[in-house]
Structure 1
Amino acid sequence: MPVTRHLRDDPEYCEEYGYGLGAPDGILVLKYRSAGGLAFGDVRDDFLHQLYWSPDGVLAALYGSSTRFAGPGEAFWAMRAVSHDVRAGDRQTVYRIFLREVPPALDGLRAGSATVDDEAARLIETIARRGCDEAFALAARRRILDGLGAPSALTPAASANGGGLALAVARALAHDPADSTRLDEWAERLKVSVKTLQRDFVREFGMPYTRWRTRLRLRAARVLLNTHPVTKVAHRVGYASPSAFITAFTKEYGQTPGDYVANGLARLDGSRT
């Protein structure tokens, strides 16, 4: 039977779903939701591998001396005994999956981003719900592992109409939101027209490239603001000056980065009184 634990202490909660625990083919899923951002701290597990995935936001993963971001259709993978720190923004759902088996495509990857296909994403959400049958969940676990892949280099999509190009660019940008590559430069690398790439961005994300990049940068900023000064965050996500970052952030969210941090801390303080 699955082990399910619900902690709904506003402003954050964690739900626990375990299937076949103790066996090599078991799986444990923790589902987190927070109003004020999530930080898992300096984590190391010597017995279990971990996968972090968010369906509705950007994840920032710190390991070694680098900080990487996991964007659309991606997760962060850490093998057992690898120290890491994963963070998410406010009002964001994060699934933290514990495994004893390494997914086939991630064999040899100590830590880094991994792609998550649509079916694997759907199954992660399905098994992290009340009443999920254990036999179904264990079968779904195999499909989830098969749906994980190591990120590939940016390559032209095979689709004649340009489908998939925007997602390839989005994933590359998500790893480094400060990347200043222009749309025409991406199009040249992919050997397609600017018009084709722009059309695929609108089709895939409902907005043009520059708008999508701005939203990515600001969502990445929200992950970092609670633990980094505004000046550092501004440069880390691609703004030439803190003032340009503050202007863009305020336009998008209706409050300055400083107010955003203060309001988030106020929510957390209020939950403890």
Structure 2
Amino acid sequence: MSSKNVLITGTSSGIGLATAVAAARSGWHVVATMRDTAKAGALLAAAEEVGVTVDVRALDVTDPASVEACLAGLDRLDAVVNNAGAGHVGTLEQESVDDVRAVMEVNFFGVLHVTKAVLPLLRASAGRVVTVTSVGGVIGQPFNEAYCAAKFAVEGFMESLAPVAATAGVSVSVVEPGAVASEFVSNVGLADNVLEQAGPYAPALSAYLDRTRGAFADAQTPQDVAAQVVELLAAERPAFRVLTSDAARAFVGPKLKDLDGSAVQDATSAWLA
């Protein structure tokens, strides 16, 4: 395993940080990326605490030139974990189309930029693409219109890419957490006076925020999600879809009966045989 390289995006905190440390502990050489390497302190401290090292590199997933610069000099890559993303709370009437487009740039096109750039390396190593999405990529959620649209797009793209990539020896998987106790929620960017600005949507938004606080009171840890990502990286036959908790499975169950993605993958792979 020591010769295997994995590139992980969005490693300054949360799931990305925990995955970088867990992968390094499992013997992977970890290229840990983040937009601002000045924020690498928490990652480096966590790695040092358990006696591992990670290769920290700057990477803005929304900038193809930044992606190419990050990959420069990397001759072998066995896996990529697309984890970088940003939450967003809002509703269409009260935000601009440019606001929605910005959410898509980070959460959808950022995944595409990275995946497109690494596919030649992954074909050479018969590697794998693992993308952290969300239960919000299966169930559309109130006041998460733009975020869920981006995650739905990622899910559809990866589900479509998976059988094509498999013909070239590359496996594709998505990881769908529910509520995770990380800085993700605090980074959503809700203003202190968000309810005052919500106008006719204020009662609904207040109820939504109350429900969300309750969901995150019993959230899964980033380390638990990371352990499942690392297990997926090492799996002989990785599943297409991994739901990371009982809560996530219960949440999407009424809509998504094919919980591990095997039925869809078996059907669409047969189209290419």
Is the TM value for this pair above 0.5? no
Of structures 1 and 2, the larger Rg is shown by 1
- TM-score, scaled relative to structure 1: 0.33
- TM-score, scaled relative to structure 2: 0.33
Higher helix share: 2
